[in-house]
Structure 1
Amino acid sequence: MICRMWHGRTLRSKADAYARFLAERAVPDYRSVPGNLDVTVLRRDEGDTTHFVTVTRWASEDAVRAFAGDDLLKARYYPEDRDYLLEFEPLVQHYQVIATTTA
């Protein structure tokens, strides 16, 4: 199992709108890809900016490839992200999941 993590920052004044965008557009897009196991979106307000981290778990590299393309570590952005994000980090991080539990 692969855990894919992406980080982005927006102005705090746009954070609520961006959170809605992620919930309504990005999360369903992730979930539509076979092999996506789950999506978690994290938010942290820090002064005038807000950080978002998406944490997705995938069954395999092939599942990630179906979402991200052949360059597995390249960040994937939506056209709407231009309205919110302060910069575009070029890469995501991947981790192999070695242990997990559910509540």
Structure 2
Amino acid sequence: MIARLWHGTTRLDRADAYATFLSDRAMPDYRGTPGNLGAQVLRRDEGDIAHFLTLSYWESEDAIRAFAGDDLLKAKYYPEDEGFLLAREPQVEHYEVRSAG
């Protein structure tokens, strides 16, 4: 199993709206992709910025390609992200899951 980790930041005054967007738009996209084994959104507020992480689990690299395209480490963005994010980080991180509970 592969864990895929993405990070983004938004202004704190936009964070609740972005959390709703992630829940309503992004998470169904992740979870609706064959080979996705689950996805979560994590949030941490720090001063006037909110950090978001999406942590998703995939059965294979082919499943990730179906979701994000051929460049496995390239971050996937939605058009709506433009109105929320302070920057677009170009890459995600992948980890091999060694233990799950």
How high is the TM-score relative to the length of structure 1?
Answer: 0.97
RMSD: 0.4
C-alpha distance in 2 between matches for 1:69 and 1:11? 28
Aligned length: 101
Partner of 2:19: 19
Question: Equivalent residue of 1:66, what SS?
Answer: helix
SS of residue matched to 1:81: helix
Which blocks of at least 5 consecutive residues in structure 2 are unaligned?
A: none
Q: Which residue of 2 aligns with 1:98?
A: 98
Equivalent residue number for residue 62 of structure 2: 62
> Could you tell me the TM-score, scaled by structure 2's length?
0.99
Unaligned runs of 5+ in 1: none
Aligned twin of 1:5: 5
User: For 1:38 and 1:31, how far apart are their aligned partners in 2?
Assistant: 6
Distance in 1 between residues matched to 2:97 and 2:57, nearest whole Å = 9
Query: Which runs of structure 1 show a deviation greater than 2 angstroms over 4 or more consecutive aligned residues?
Result: none
The one-letter code matched in structure 2 to 1:30 is: Y
